[in-house]
Structure 1
């Protein structure tokens, strides 16, 4: 018995030695390598000589003035983000919690970009204050939208992603409208450790050191949060105060990092899990160990970013961390989320509120007429207005030649907008049916980011390829992303919750690739950046023919299978009882939905939220009926995108606002409203 009692302490001591000793040794090696690699490589012997006996020579000055600040700020950033992640996972009792999954990074980034435009003096003097306010508000929004203390890991991750998407929409708007003022922030927005002097380190290290010390000192209070809440209260712990204090510490640590090096994700997710896998649970050890391994992760990612160089240059460290961390999230979902069963997930497509039960046929007729009227109005508006009568004459080929020229430019563009909106909306109907979640669309399962990445690969790597290569690459990217998500989720019976979480991970990889290409190819001021926000600018008959073929083939197939898709809303067990082959039906719904969304991206760029808004609005009109939703959602989606296209080219003429940006600015708040409605319904 004595030997057994000694085994546990000895085993824990061994783990502590491995975690801290091994981590410090690895960090020391990476520290030296970080000083060696760069535009000009410095031999290790010169690095040690410069560290111990600095002289006024180029190599030593480069080492101390450029490389050392970059390496040290990486260590500080990794430590702060990892410690913040450990605290957030404890506070929320959620293994998926981190500063990026709760929207803290996105909130801090948004406020810093806004500060650059609206409060430049405050941004210059106190960027940390703005970042902290943004991060704190974003975290609260994600936490309460997720259901507060009763939030499930899936719902909290989804709510954090929604908050990040909402803030990302407004951040993109600022970047486009204030291109000159915010261009310098785009590289920073990808997460970069590049430092020109020690000012960033001098600014950040006191905050990080004090916040880490407070977190470690309060470790025992955080240990109590691992217990049941009633048990913790019976032991005299102030649970609410401890949670609030932990949240404040986590937000402040993430905010100071974002204000100096930009938003870097996945560190707070990966590092604490690595430490917990070693068996360390007590927070006085967990927090410093997480900080150590977080510093190690970012330093390794930064070295990798400098080693893997191409003609495009060095990738942002935030993009590298996304590529490293996304597989970790995938592994975590597939192996550690034991509470996700085959039948779990959203079982209702309702988000609260009774449907209006409008009559179907009159509604279809009304929306069709409205869409036709909006198309005609859109064709008449622009830099040169076309009178309605001349417009009608031009359509039948009897109008004035000058108006006919305008018609040849505006008509295909408007029809592409209508076709793209129809495809995105119907794709949203099918994807929501497949994953049985009313808050799902193409962007959630990775289709949008995958298609955008595929298109940018062509734009950046092979700009001389024919124009038809762009839609092919976009479709290929979207389909590959969705196929990868489905391949991984198949072993979990295509569980809706698993699909969404895996989609988040794959979307992060695609977004990292997009961000890296924009930054490194200097695309933020080009049409490529506008294209990935979604635009109908310059669209012609080729794009119309492409989207028309997609609609002609896929919409009838979706309508034909509509009755089977209806049964997916009842849950796997009930659907199987009705004799429905659940996996196969869900797979067909996803295939058709993904192809429609990818085809739309190929034609009009990466437009988000439209596939979410239209199906919900229609469901509120006529209830859950797939065939009716396909028809009405398509009409509404076409109407919304034509309206966005019209507003985009007329409100600030001659400057154009991307259609996707207008949809984002409308859809992002609507997305949050839907999440709030679903929370109220749940309660």
Structure 2
């Protein structure tokens, strides 16, 4: 150990000399290559737009401008947009590099840690409640939201003891919660937030130089300070004991680096909206060349980040002439998702080889009570019945519990009976059955992936279902809304197919399944944004479905859903013994005669079918599959079959309650039950964060 410390000290003493000595001209070559690429892409970006401009016209406009419209468009609209892409890309790349160093996690970035989602939420809050203050200074809103989200993701991931899968999944869940709150605000205050959808997907549109004038001092000064502080930042790569032995205050350096990373990302978000994956791709491109010293990594990464974002914006404008204005953030997500899959496979392989936990080390204790199991079944069943009666009593026409019961058995008032049977009961049964399906799916996924934070939304199934449904609405509108459930099921199965195909060669390792699912979810979200913008006329029904709603359900849909759930849930129960064996670990399970990969594939496929069936009927509803299995295991213990039954009952309770609250809280307006479920799940998530960190 002493030899390692002395070597570290000598290396840190002269970082620039060490970098050049070991890397030769690689840093200079990477910097030169990035600058050349940036120059080429910058000129190309000036030629792209609704009106094509030749390269010679661009050169004339830059070096010998004339008082003609073409030159005014280049200098006043396209040139500020290109410079904004450069500055935003540089800021995001530096932010990602710092986050990866602080967390020592190759998957950390402003996207995967929820910084973009937090900043976006606070900007929406400012737009609604403090429009004057937001217009005057949007940066504080974005910084506060991004900082809170980054801290929550870091804490959920386990802080300094985090692993890549913990931080990535924690950031994904934080992003889902914040995005749901943002969606709720946008639906409730539609007039105030009408112009934020395109910006929220990451738009580099600039009408003048005001945005560039605001951003460039922050980015340039920030990068200069960080580059000069490269020696201190290098210490974040070492273990804390080594750094302390060198007399460094690691906690101060880590806090300052985390703060600067959030600030740089939020400077970009406050002007152009949340643009993802630049902070993930650019630092890794530089590190792959062997450059790791921050005095080189940060400026080179900034150049490559700028080049990547300028290239993505150039591509979006090249396609915009055919499909309409495309947000640059959606394009970077489509580019970044395959990169995230590659990084997930790479980091998971290293984690497995080094003996890391397959599940990323996330574990929750079970609260086994001295209460008989059948008592819990009765309690959960009565709770479901009570919530159902309460939901049937509520609406524009209030009813008592007695009136509900008498109407259901056919002896009540004819009007009340008709209202219940034709409107309220089909909606309630749809919510209950879909909640049961989502809960069973989450229970199966958590058992298959061996990670208690697995959920159909996190694994990518819900995102795939959203893409399938949107394709039916936008690309094939002639099929009609009746084909939407089939599209949702096909999309969910396709997304799961990608996840399991990537993980198959590695034995369906739980870590790889979880991380690839996160990447697929990110790509699905980008595709949905593109389809929503492309659809235009179908925007309203698409957003209603994507928010997760049980509105206007009828008996044929209820019968179909009941038949599928009635078939799939018993099948999940029959897998009980095999799923219990999965909890022992791959080696132990194989020694007990269990075909681990085949069992995990069967369990995952059944979970996908359940989630896709639920999504086809109620849209993209998250967190039911996360919360219900936890609640069941806390009282039933680790037994798969016992907790599955309670999980199914709790799933029905949660979604019926969410639908009930969404109907009555702002009556007569309906809040989609998916948003309510996410809002109800946020406090539970905070408790889960605390418990997971403690255990």
TM-score range, shorter chain: over 0.9
Distance in structure 2 (CA, Å) of the matches to 1:80 and 1:347: 30
Distance in structure 2 (CA, Å) of the matches to 1:596 and 1:326: 25
Distance in structure 2 (CA, Å) of the matches to 1:380 and 1:341: 53
Task: Tell whether the 8 Å contact from 2:115 to 2:265 is kept in structure 1 after alignment.
Answer: yes
Give the drift of 1:77.
Answer: 0.3
Match of 2:648 in 1: 634
Q: 1:658 to 1:471 in 2, by over 3 A?
A: same
Give the drift of 1:91.
Answer: 1.8
Distance in structure 2 (CA, Å) of the matches to 1:35 and 1:506: 32
Q: How does 1:5-84 map to 2 (within 5 A)?
A: 12-84=23-95
Q: Does 1:412 align with 2:426?
A: yes
Task: Tell whether the 8 Å contact from 1:162 to 1:672 is kept in structure 2 after alignment.
Answer: no
Q: How does 1:139-538 map to 2 (within 5 A)?
A: 139-309=150-320, 312-341=323-352, 344-346=357-359, 351-352=364-365, 354-397=367-410, 399-406=412-419, 407-522=421-536, 526-538=540-552
Match of 1:548 in 2: 562
Give the drift of 1:513.
Answer: 1.1
Query: What runs of 5+ residues in structure 1 fail to find an aligned partner?
Result: 1-5
Give the drift of 1:276.
Answer: 0.9
Q: Does 1:624 align with 2:634?
A: no
Distance in structure 2 (CA, Å) of the matches to 1:221 and 1:179: 47
Residue 571 (structure 1) aligned to one of 585, 607, 614: 585
Distance in structure 2 (CA, Å) of the matches to 1:557 and 1:181: 48
Q: 1:18 to 1:348 in 2, by over 3 A?
A: closer
Task: Tell whether the 8 Å contact from 2:48 to 2:318 is kept in structure 1 after alignment.
Answer: yes
1:167-188 superposed Cα distances (whole Å, 9 cap, x missing partner) = 2222122111111111211211
Residue 96 (structure 1) aligned to one of 107, 112, 122: 107
Distance in structure 1 (CA, Å) of the matches to 2:256 and 2:624: 39
Count of aligned pairs between the two proteins? 676
1:167-222 superposed Cα distances (whole Å, 9 cap, x missing partner) = 22221221111111112112111011011111111111111111111111111111
Which stretch of the first structure deviates more once superposed, 164-173 or 650-659? 164-173
Match of 1:3 in 2: none
Match of 2:690 in 1: 676
Query: What runs of 5+ residues in structure 2 fail to find an aligned partner?
Result: 1-16
Match of 1:117 in 2: 128
Q: How does 1:575-614 map to 2 (within 5 A)?
A: 575-614=589-628
Give the drift of 1:578.
Answer: 2.1
Normalized against structure 2, the TM-score is what? 0.93
Q: 1:327 to 1:263 in 2, by over 3 A?
A: same
Distance in structure 1 (CA, Å) of the matches to 2:647 and 2:374: 14
Task: Tell whether the 8 Å contact from 1:183 to 1:524 is kept in structure 2 after alignment.
Answer: no
Task: Tell whether the 8 Å contact from 2:348 to 2:511 is kept in structure 1 after alignment.
Answer: no
Distance in structure 2 (CA, Å) of the matches to 1:432 and 1:384: 41
Q: What RMSD, in angstroms, separates the aligned Cα atoms of the two structures?
A: 2.2
Distance in structure 2 (CA, Å) of the matches to 1:113 and 1:145: 24
Q: 1:527 to 1:227 in 2, by over 3 A?
A: same
Which stretch of the first structure deviates more once superposed, 244-253 or 425-434? 244-253
1:309-332 superposed Cα distances (whole Å, 9 cap, x missing partner) = 476413211111111011111111
